[in-house]
Structure 1
């Protein structure tokens, strides 16, 4: 089994675990759920089930601040907005809802 995984890794195919391991990634995911909200360190720490002090320590160990991460999330979503608008498919609107004006004269 290990040999198969090594061959796949050699070919560039890797299996990545689904869980997010780095704290900055977990914080980013948390902030991206509601980027327009005013996030405090206490609120983020509560959503990640840790104390505010521990959150700040771990973020400083990764050389990132909560404010930098929040700015990064908001800018990323702002830059993605035009791309998402281009990829969205036009929706069909039923004629009853479209309120199409007819060209019949009033008799």
Structure 2
């Protein structure tokens, strides 16, 4: 799994590709290709904006910029902005058994 796709899953709380498409306005078929091929720059920027993330952060995970170029590893998450279902999915993922 690509670093980009892991980032997408972490930010979206493992939302479905269709849910990501609906939120970003990007076609579901394009999002399906992200897992193996990553996004185009305009799609990475649209994803970041839709989920309230810094565009430069998305560009780092998409491989367009190095961590050195970005000078950040990741911006802190504002928990108030996380969808309740996504937050619960992450809590369930972290609780064993």
TM-score under structure 1 normalisation? 0.29
Whichever of the two has the greater Rg, that structure is 1
TM-score under structure 2 normalisation? 0.31
Q: Which has the higher helix share?
A: 2
The structure with higher relative contact order (CA 8 Å, sep 6+) is 2
